[in-house]
Chains A and B, each alone.
Chain A
Amino acid sequence: MPKHYRPPGKKKEGNAAKYITRSKAIKYLQITLPVFRRLCILKGVFPREPKKKVEGNHKTYYHMKDIMFLAHEPLLEKFRDMRAYDKKVKKAVAKKNRDLAHRLLTRKPTYTLDKLIRERYPKFIDALRDLDDSLTMVHLFAALPAVESERIQVKRIQNCRRLSHEWQAYISRTHSLRKTFISVKGIYYQAEVEGQKITWLTPHALQQVLTDDVDFNVMLTFLEFYETLLAFVNFKLYHSINVKYPPILDPRLEALAADLYALYRYFSANSRVPAVESQAVSSSGSEQAKTEKKGTQTDESELRLAQLQHQLPANEPGTLMHLVDAAAGEDDDDKETRECKTLFKNLKFFLSREVPRESLLFVIPAFGGVVSWEGDGAPFKEADEGITHQIIDRPTQGHIFLSREYVQPQWIYDCVNARIILPTDNYMVGRVPPPHLSPFVDNEAEGYVPEYAETIKRLQAAARKELLPMPGVDKQELDDPQNLLVEGIISRTEANEAAEKKRKMYDLEKQHHEQLKMELQGELYSASLSNKNMQSSVEITETREEFLPDLEQVVEDAASMSKVLMSRKKRSLYEAMQDLEVAVYQCGYVRYCRNFYFFFLDSLRRVSPPALLKN
């Protein structure tokens, strides 16, 4: 009898009964593969890994319960109906019954996904948790061209654009944007909505490349779900701030592709929550409306009327209630939101035409700034006296207003990440801006802190008006890491850090002394610096050598000592983890060395010409 022999009439058991391969599942459900894919995507059913792969290793397994879950989905029946309907149309066309075909086509059966969304995300917070992918996808499609051959329709692209703008408007309005990052892939944003960190990526506003190794059917199915999800989420979010959804936008602004600004206007007009900056925006807007919009006065009033009509039922409880709400809303803003709200307060920005307008129109108001741009429909013109910063991204600027600062767009993003107003010197026109660092990286865990991160840290501390210990000051508090280690007060990593610090301190001191000495001798500093630098670098390594063996020994001993007492299992686990850490640490160390190397090169470059002349 074979090993896995199952007598006839006996039920399957275990993994064989619990899991089913994909092809069997398709047969079981009596559907085609594309429909199965569609269902899986919409229902969020994914393969699961059985403990034992009964049918073979190279197959995809679904859990039987998942498949039963699909089998009872009303959508499955709906898909069948739609297929039958399509056949009807096809038949009518084939019989040249154009009238019937046309009539059938106009009332094709459709399906809605609201039940599915409710099922997949029983709570709103669940939906927020899963929003990252949908936001990224919708933003990507908002930037894609409509391609008829790939069935990417203009309507969907526009819908994606609308949804993304609605989302951004909400985030901006509630000041819940936390981090931004310009990467090569696009611009990352991180917002915090109801305590959930939501990160999404928007592509750069350029013509996107359509590759042919992408199955658009799959992507469009995902997009379909994501669009619906995002729309419902937007509805809920708008509802939470007492704004009607979907918003009715000023058609003029919409036509000028200033959707985001139109949405802001809508917010400020529609929501009764009085907020300082929204008033600022609206007041500037109204000024402008007076001057510019005389021609479109009638349209405007019609729009207002429409908006008012829509607004009326929502406002029934009365303004008093709203005021109470508003007061409560102001109170329960957490500290971070308040910080974000006031970052660009009292600053007025103007965007040049070459900077990414949509992104900055989103980011600046999210942090409490007032912004305008070059082009039609802008709230204020370039010549406005109140503008404090002009964002430009060109090699030179012809006409310069002395009352404002001209900065590169990176300044905004760096300010936002650092949560302080950074000095603009480095970001001036024509300069290469300082490195743009990712706010998502935990530098300590990475094992390497870039130079500019430290600069920013210092600036932040300065902004908070507290003194961060400068290198060389904190000598007393950690006198000797070795002693501390022996005492068992500090852990190994701390000891490492302390040792490193001490070493750095020592280097700095040494350099400083040397410089002082040279100055005393009245030598030309720069001339002798180049060879000094060489020496010092050598010395540094030497001192490092000097310092470390003793200390390292102690550190190592301490580590191995506690390792001795561990059980074998724990010890191997610990060693494995240690290896990982070492890898990370090494990565950081490589960066550190490179940075030092660059610094060295730079200093050489800076000083070499006079040095050469001297020689």
Chain B
Amino acid sequence: MVEANESRLVKAPKEKKNKKKKNTMSQSTAVEEPQQLETNSPLVDKVLSENDDTERESGAGEHELLEDEEFVRTGNVELSNEVHGLEDQDEGVEAHQGVEESDSSEDEVAPRNTIGDVPLKWYEDEEHIGYDITGKKIKKQARKDKLDSFLAGADDAKNWRKLYDEYNDEEVELTKHETRLIRRLLKGSTPHAEVDPYAPSVDWFEWDDAKHPLSNAPEPKRRFIPSKWENKKVVEYVRAIRKGLIKFDKPKEESQFYLLWGDDSSSTDKAAHGLSYIPAPKPKLAGHEESYNPSKEYIPTQEEINSYQLMYEEDRPKFIPRRFESLRSVPAYDNALKESFDRCLDLYLCPRTRKKRINIDPESLKPKLPSRKDLKPYPITCCLEYRGHKGAVLSVSVEVTGQWIASGSNDGTVRVWEVETGRCLKIWEIGEAVHRVAWNPVAELPILAVSAGQDVLLLNTGFGNEENQVKIKELMHIEAPTAPDDSGNSPSIVSWVQHDKHDGITLKHIKSVSSVEWHRKGDYFSTVMPGDILFTSDFIALKNVRVYDLVKQKLVKKLEAGVREISSIAIHPAGDNVIVGSTEGKLCWFDMDLSSQPYRILKCHPKDITNVAFHRSYPLFASCSDDCTAYVFHGTVYSDLNQNPLIVPLEILRGHTITNGRGVMDCKFHPRQPWLFTAGADSVIKLYCH
């Protein structure tokens, strides 16, 4: 057998070496082997048995092979012997049964453990490990404690070969064979000594009679020269690296922040584009109601919250105040992100425009008025009332001396009162509603002109001294029914008739007379009928004011008030200024020297202005209206033409009450005192004093 081996030496030099070493090496391996623990013994056995099988099958093989096989076999015998015998002894053939004995029994025997492939940790605390086939618990063996195991180690010499199989919960004693296997594995060689890792290759193909090789192609060039494309790629990479296109170090993170705004004083350049930058308006700051703990009065009641539901979506309040007892109970705000997003949208989607908004105190709009204290005296309070009329007092007139006033009323009476006492002196029953009463402006001739219905009555009041009375009597006496004045011109319009009852003259008109006015000198008076003016007058008005020259008897000026309908008119005693009251409650002040447009329009009354009046001596004027008020104004006219008249509202006088939708019907100033008489629709005449 040794010779046979010799013949093979050339082919497998390593093998020989192996064989030679065998004796010397075996001892050293035996020392190391028991340390290997994880050896799979059944597998080793399997390998062993297979080796036996191949031996039988390939028995009729080639010569060399057979030899080899034999060697393997001897190796095998050796190994099995070693298992039984002592490790350091290299033994012969007789232990052949050992191979059969060490047959793997564990292949057939089912593992004691029946738990399957589950982690053992699950059974860590249980006292059993799985169930057997009859359904009984497989009890765990009592675990040895350390002392026991130490004692066992001391007592039993073979104890080092014992292993605890955790899976099957039993102690396994390694056989010698197994220890040998382990030892070999530890060394890094094949577990079975008989396996030859360097077996010679066998060329099963027969080359001897073959005419052609398998492939006749010449060796390609690429097999022995370096690749061109690879080279190209490399060059490309090299170049890229050189150029810095490919960098291997990571780009380092450097702080990108620096002092952006160095010196502000130098940077005065404006924005690059010429458009003005409109900064976005800042969001509204939170008010009391947004507090987490607002005062009680900010929290809507349940009804209010319910009423929000009835509102339109966009009318509903965006934010309903809530109250939290403590800071810790405040939740996260649901709409935080939404509101932030809305703000973003506003910032970049909303067109921005500059809206001019007046941010001034409304009080500053009011004109600065001179102190009213300096403009005294003017009527402030009501100090007297003249009661007696049954109907609305339509007109009032003050005698030139200021001692008497006459009033005409709706109830068809004309009364004369003493100013200071309020005593009613005389009453004339006219029978028709008295539209207007007017004293003759001449103090010596206290004649009263009264317009009622279609008549104008001239009444002798009976005041004044004897001489005057005689004079008046003379004047008032008309012999003929035809008047001396202008009977030739208009006999059809007016007829002068001596009034028998009241000791006066009646001028009968064909239409109802709405107004009567005396000339300043007391010689003439004018009456107004709707439609045409009977007598010459200075001013005629309906929509515009026309100024006539009485001497030349022609139109001088036309004043455009620009109001809807003129209700009343008054002339400044100096004659250059006119105030006009309109039915829409506007008062126009005309400076006739200035223009035909009103110098100033005062919107004072919400309702019709019934009358306006100038004071004869004081710089006062007044307007009265259907809204039961009378305004008193200060109106200074300067002699200097460059200076505009000064108009200051002074007082609002109240006191009358609305009756039948009318308020104050007439107002007149006292000729000498700063007193104002107002005649109201509530049948009262009031005197306002300073």
- Residues of chain B within 8 A of A121, CB atoms compared: 261
What is the CA–CA distance of A392 and B324 in the complex, to the nearest angstrom? Answer: 16
What is the CA–CA distance of A364 and B319 in the complex, to the nearest angstrom? Answer: 30
Q: Does A500 contact B (CB under 8 A)?
A: no
**Number of residues from A at the complex interface, CB < 8 A:** 115
Nearest A-chain residue to B297, judged by Cβ: A594
Q: Is the CB of B322 within 8 A of A184?
A: yes
Nearest A-chain residue to B602, judged by Cβ: A564
Residue from A41, A183, A354, A578 with most neighbouring chain B CB atoms (10 Å) = A183
Q: With both chains docked as a complex, state the minimum distance between the C-beta of A262 and any C-beta of chain B, in angstroms.
A: 19
Q: Which of B285, B327, B353, B363 contacts A188 (CB 8 A)?
A: B285
The 8 A CB mask of A190-207 against B (1 = contact, 0 = none) is 000000000100011011
What is the CA–CA distance of A27 and B373 in the complex, to the nearest angstrom? Answer: 73
Interface residues on B, range: 35 or more
Q: Is the CB of B291 within 8 A of A581?
A: no
Nearest B-chain residue to A37, judged by Cβ: B348
Q: Is the CB of B367 within 8 A of A562?
A: yes
Q: A394-B328, A491-B363 are in contact. Are A46 and B350 (CB under 8 A)?
A: yes
Q: Is the CB of B291 within 8 A of A437?
A: yes
Q: Is the CB of A185 within 8 A of B338?
A: no
Q: Is the CB of A117 within 8 A of B279?
A: no
Q: Is the CB of B340 within 8 A of A219?
A: yes
Q: Does B234 contact A (CB under 8 A)?
A: no
Q: With both chains docked as a complex, state the minimum distance between the C-beta of A562 and any C-beta of chain B, in angstroms.
A: 4
Comparing A124-132, A312-320, A456-464, A472-480, the segment that makes contact with chain B is A124-132
Nearest B-chain residue to A203, judged by Cβ: B336
What is the CA–CA distance of A140 and B332 in the complex, to the nearest angstrom? Answer: 12
- Residues of chain B within 8 A of A438, CB atoms compared: 285-288, 290-291
Q: Which of B267, B275, B353, B363 contacts A123 (CB 8 A)?
A: B267
What is the CA–CA distance of A321 and B246 in the complex, to the nearest angstrom? Answer: 49
Q: Does B295 contact A (CB under 8 A)?
A: yes
- Residues of chain B within 8 A of A210, CB atoms compared: 337
Q: Is the CB of B338 within 8 A of A112?
A: no
Residue from A207, A435, A487, A491 with most neighbouring chain B CB atoms (10 Å) = A435
Residue from B279, B338, B367 with most neighbouring chain A CB atoms (10 Å) = B367
Q: Does B258 contact A (CB under 8 A)?
A: yes
Q: Is the CB of A206 within 8 A of B331?
A: yes
Q: With both chains docked as a complex, state the minimum distance between the C-beta of B98 and any C-beta of chain A, in angstroms.
A: 59
- Residues of chain B within 8 A of A69, CB atoms compared: 272-273
Comparing B80-88, B186-194, B249-257, the segment that makes contact with chain A is B249-257
Interface residues of B in 230-248 (CB under 8 A from A): 246-247
Q: Does B351 contact A (CB under 8 A)?
A: yes
Q: With both chains docked as a complex, state the minimum distance between the C-beta of A151 and any C-beta of chain B, in angstroms.
A: 15
- Residues of chain B within 8 A of A37, CB atoms compared: 348
The number of A-B residue pairs with CB atoms under 8 Å apart is 281
What is the CA–CA distance of A122 and B272 in the complex, to the nearest angstrom? Answer: 10
What is the CA–CA distance of A592 and B296 in the complex, to the nearest angstrom? Answer: 11
Q: Is the CB of B247 within 8 A of A107?
A: yes
Q: With both chains docked as a complex, state the minimum distance between the C-beta of B633 and any C-beta of chain A, in angstroms.
A: 8
Q: Does A106 contact B (CB under 8 A)?
A: yes
Q: A46-B350, A47-B351 are in contact. Are A565 and B260 (CB under 8 A)?
A: no
Q: Which of B291, B322, B337, B369 contacts A435 (CB 8 A)?
A: B291
Nearest A-chain residue to B283, judged by Cβ: A132
Q: With both chains docked as a complex, state the minimum distance between the C-beta of B356 and any C-beta of chain A, in angstroms.
A: 12
Q: Which of A122, A246, A440, A595 contacts B285 (CB 8 A)?
A: A440
- Residues of chain A within 8 A of B602, CB atoms compared: 564-565
Nearest B-chain residue to A359, judged by Cβ: B327
Q: With both chains docked as a complex, state the minimum distance between the C-beta of B645 and any C-beta of chain A, in angstroms.
A: 12
Q: With both chains docked as a complex, state the minimum distance between the C-beta of A441 and any C-beta of chain B, in angstroms.
A: 5
What is the CA–CA distance of A299 and B334 in the complex, to the nearest angstrom? Answer: 42
Interface residues of A in 429-476 (CB under 8 A from B): 432-433, 435-438, 440-441, 446, 450-452
Q: Which of A133, A182, A209 contacts B337 (CB 8 A)?
A: A209
Q: Which of B257, B330, B338, B345 contacts A218 (CB 8 A)?
A: B345
- Residues of chain A within 8 A of B321, CB atoms compared: 184
- Residues of chain A within 8 A of B267, CB atoms compared: 122-123
- Residues of chain B within 8 A of A49, CB atoms compared: 351-353
Q: Does A245 contact B (CB under 8 A)?
A: yes
- Residues of chain A within 8 A of B333, CB atoms compared: 184-186, 203-204
Q: Which of A106, A184, A356, A571 contacts B290 (CB 8 A)?
A: A184
Q: Does B365 contact A (CB under 8 A)?
A: yes
- Residues of chain A within 8 A of B337, CB atoms compared: 140, 144, 208-211, 214
Interface residues of A in 108-156 (CB under 8 A from B): 112, 114, 117-119, 121-125, 127, 129-130, 132-133, 136-137, 140, 144
What is the CA–CA distance of A232 and B290 in the complex, to the nearest angstrom? Answer: 33
Q: A49-B351, A65-B274, A206-B331 are in contact. Are A566 and B291 (CB under 8 A)?
A: no
Q: Is the CB of B264 within 8 A of A65?
A: no
Q: Is the CB of A246 within 8 A of B257?
A: yes
Q: Does B525 contact A (CB under 8 A)?
A: no
Q: Does B343 contact A (CB under 8 A)?
A: yes
The 8 A CB mask of A587-613 against B (1 = contact, 0 = none) is 000011011001000000000000000
Q: Does A173 contact B (CB under 8 A)?
A: no
Give 26 A-B contacts (CB < 8 Å), ordered by A residue. Answer: A41-B344, A46-B280, A46-B352, A68-B273, A182-B293, A184-B292, A203-B333, A204-B331, A207-B332, A208-B337, A209-B337, A214-B337, A235-B260, A236-B260, A438-B285, A446-B287, A493-B363, A561-B649, A562-B369, A564-B604, A566-B365, A570-B365, A573-B365, A581-B362, A594-B297, A595-B297
| Residues of A that sit less than 8 Å from B by CB | 37, 40-41, 44-49, 60-61, 63, 65-66, 68-69, 103, 106-107, 112, 114, 117-119, 121-125, 127, 129-130, 132-133, 136-137, 140, 144, 181-186, 188, 199, 203-204, 206-211, 213-215, 218-219, 222, 231-232, 235-236, 239, 245-246, 354-356, 393-394, 408-410, 432-433, 435-438, 440-441, 446, 450-452, 486-488, 491-493, 553, 557, 560-566, 568, 570-571, 573-574, 577-578, 581, 591-592, 594-595, 598
| Residues of B that sit less than 8 Å from A by CB | 246-247, 250-251, 255-261, 264, 267, 269-275, 277-280, 282-283, 285-288, 290-298, 319, 321-322, 324-328, 330-341, 343-345, 347-353, 358, 362-363, 365-367, 369, 371-373, 600-604, 631, 647-652, 654
Which 4 residue pairs spanning A and B have beta carbons closest together?
A594-B297, A440-B285, A435-B295, A206-B332
